[in-house]
Chains A and B, each alone.
Chain A
Amino acid sequence: MLTYFARRLLTLIPMVIVISFLIYLGLELTPGDAVSHMVPPDALSMMDEERLQALRESLGLGKPFIVRYWIWITGVMQGEFGYSLAGGVPISKIFLDRLPATLELSFAALLISTVLGSILGTISALTRGSLTDQSLTVVGMLGVSIPEFFFGLVAILVFALNLNWFPVGGRILPGYDSFWDRLPHLVMPAMVLSIMMTAGVMRYARSSMLDALSRDFIRTARSKGMPEWRVNILHGFRVALTPVIVLIGFRLPVLIGGSVIIEQVFQWPGIGKEFVSAVRSQDYPLVMMVALFSVLAVLIASLIVDLLTAIIDPRVRLGE
């Protein structure tokens, strides 16, 4: 197990290095003076040309590319992410401010889609070929075909503007920042964000459940005279669920992709919304940093998924 972990980690590290290198290359090649994202802008505005030159020297901007990359990457590892061009805010501060909102939204969507998707998928598998199964399949197809933001627009129109059940957007009203005050804001974005994933999980859970139900141990359980619901839930569902949990880790990129657009639709103050406005205003340092950290998140998620699979299934860590 430990050797497997070490080997997996060893393949990850070169990947992180190459990607951070590419990101830095992007930072250097995009227009803008490198000083502007390395130094607080108000300090910069007070400098004359001579001190600016000295500053460049001390930041190592005259040194070869590899050295500059090294200076940058060691800085990033110590939490110096540089400064956003728009407003000159430290990028680490933007992350700290915005990340909780994004995590809250993603976690809620993840929870909804996992629970709903695996339940619907199981129902679909148990009633295979029936009308319920067929209509669930079509509904799942609708879920992956309709653009998420279109769902969001319809939801805003119906539930916020017409029925007034939920607020149109935003996350917190000033003065009301307890979890229960925030909950109504969270409901619609989380539901909409979870739709595409629910459909994916449902599809996967259905085939995984069908696979589990055709195994020998299910027949054994039945032959022992166990009631049908016990066979399905205790034996089928439990076995079918493991690959579904694994799938969820792989869905992280889908979730990130969805949240970028959904945060915009519902004016949710998260990283995704910040990223979109950074792309719009060509705030390259911020764009590059968000990209770097989303890649890190994906790589770490896939590492965790691999480890979980290895723990559950010994064939993975022993073979290859």
Chain B
Amino acid sequence: MTDANATRPRTRRDAQFDKIRDREAALAGTRQRTGRFMSKFLNNRLAVMGFVIFAVICLMSLFAPLIAQHDPMSPNLRAIAKPPSAEHWFGTDKTGRDVFARVLYGGRISILVGLGSALLSAIIGVIIGVYSGYVGGWLDWIAMRISEIFMSFPQIILVLLLVAILGQSLLNLIVIFTLTGWGGIYRMARARMLSIREEEYVQALRSFGLGPARIAYKHMLPNALGPIMVNITLSTAAFILQEAGLSFLGLGVPLSIPTWGNILNAAQDLRVLEQNWWIWLPVGATISLFVLSVNFIGDGLRDATDPSQQG
């Protein structure tokens, strides 16, 4: 290294220092935060398993036309309520539609509803929560009161009330879920903003004369991303469960569109429940597996991003 070092004999300590220096030089270019996040997440076996299951189910639904040999909508009167076979992997339902194809295609809609509503409500909640949490004042007051009104309804009652008023359709369901779901993430984003509002870097930015929107969205939002991501995963799971429940009642997505809940709807008939287990059992298992995997991912994300659990 330097001349002074070169003149004296190298000791073991020198070699150790060199090693540490090399390691730091190698890490200098990478982002440490992401590295720690990834390694924490990957170390969580359940989270990784959850992610694999999640990815497999998503991909199978996405490529449903390539995987399923049958059309999910067209009835086949020659194969009514047949048990599973090589031809129909999950059997056929009461009008002879292939259950396996219906599960795959149903996954598209169910995941779309779950993920779409979770993302939409996160966008609305974050946009309002981040800004009003930072700025405060009357805007914050109004947003808080509105969210209080939404959240004092038990969620399913509010959802069903809106279904009764707006009517049943796929788009309406996503809108209704978004309307009823934004409150939770709004409150979380707002609380997070309140806790970092007085930190020194925020005060420094303010003293530079940056506008509130810029400070809130550009500089403070990244510090709240961890809990927001956790919240999005957990609400995806909740919305998928709700869609299934509503469609099971026959009040979710219109019955003509296959979704996981709509397929389960057939099990309200006791004869189907007792004699045609293949119509409802695989779908129920798929929903459970999918929601379970999303919950594991959410837990893994929380463990990996929550600073209070790092150590």
Contacts and interface: CB of A to CB of B under 8 A. Distances in A.
Interface of A: 15, 18-19, 22, 26, 29-30, 138, 141-142, 144-150, 153-154, 156-157, 161, 168, 252-254, 256-257, 260-261, 264-265, 275-276, 278-280, 282, 284, 287-288, 290-291, 294-295, 298-299, 302
Interface stretch (B111-119, B212-220, B288-296): B288-296
Given A149-B244, A153-B280, A284-B164, 14 more contacts: A19-B149, A145-B237, A147-B284, A150-B244, A157-B277, A161-B274, A261-B156, A261-B248, A279-B161, A280-B251, A291-B157, A294-B153, A295-B157, A302-B152
16 contacts: A19-B149, A145-B237, A145-B288, A145-B291, A146-B284, A147-B288, A153-B273, A157-B273, A161-B273, A168-B270, A256-B154, A279-B160, A279-B161, A279-B163, A284-B165, A294-B154
- In the complex, which of the residues B148, B153, B158, B287 has the most CB atoms of chain A within 10 Å of its own CB atom? B153
A146 B155 contact: no
Given A145-B295, A153-B273, A260 B160 contact: yes
A157 B274 contact: yes
Given A153-B280, A157-B274, A26 B157 contact: no
A295 B249 contact: no
B157 A290 contact: yes
- In the complex, which of the residues B154, B160, B296 has the most CB atoms of chain A within 10 Å of its own CB atom? B154
Nearest to A148: B245
A146 B291 contact: yes
Main secondary structure of the interface of B (DSSP, over half): helix
- In the complex, which of the residues B249, B264, B280 has the most CB atoms of chain A within 10 Å of its own CB atom? B249
B156 A287 contact: no
Contact of A150 (B164, B274, B284): B284
Interface string B267-299: 110100110010010001001100110011001
A157 B287 CA distance: 19
Interface of B: 46, 148-149, 152-158, 160-161, 163-165, 237, 241, 244-245, 248-251, 264, 267-268, 270, 273-274, 277, 280, 284, 287-288, 291-292, 295-296, 299
Contacts of A157: 273-274, 277
A15 B248 contact: no
